[in-house]
Amino acid sequence: EAQVTQNPRYLITVTGKKLTVTCSQNMNHEYMSWYRQDPGLGLRQIYYSMNVEVTDKGDVPEGYKVSRKEKRNFPLILESPSPNQTSLYFCASSLFAGGRYEQYFGPGTRLTVT
């Protein structure tokens, strides 16, 4: 079954305490990305990755880091979380090959930074 998994699903943390949200896909997709969703603002892209060791900034990368050491994993790192990073985070993977396009999202991670 095609799947994107994220962990944890819920996290409450304090300002400044480093955290990592993991994302893993089982479809061998090359493209992965992270989004945050905030009320009234829709979804905004944080970072994306076109393949292993290839990452680039999206619209709101400040305060976040990513890495892509393996094709299946794309963790999101908050080195020093702040309350304005309280949000709902989604990871996604996608494939575009031979005219076929597919995209799957993880279930979301609700992060609260106090």
Partner 1 sequence: AQKVTQAQTEISVVEKEDVTLDCVYETRDTTYYLFWYKQPPSGELVFLIRRNSFDEQNEISGRYSWNFQKSTSSFNFTITASQVVDSAVYFCALSEAYGSARQLTFGSGTQLTVLP
Residues at the interface with partner 1 (CB under 8 A): 30-31, 33, 35, 40-45, 48, 50, 56, 58-59, 88, 90, 92, 94-96, 101-105, 107-108
What does R_g of the chain's alpha carbons equal in angstroms? 14
Q: Give whichever of 15 and 33 is closer to partner 1, judged by the CB atom.
A: 33
Residue closer to partner 1 (CB basis): 69 or 97 = 97
Among the listed residues 112, 114, 111, 105, the one whose alpha carbon sits nearest the alpha carbon of residue 45:
105
CA dihedral 56, 12, 36, 22 (to 10 degrees): 40
Which of 82/103 has CB closer to partner 1?
103
Q: CB of 48: closest distance to partner 1 in angstroms?
A: 6
53 vs 69: CA distance, rounded Å: 6
* Shortest distance (Å) from residue 97 CB to partner 1: 10
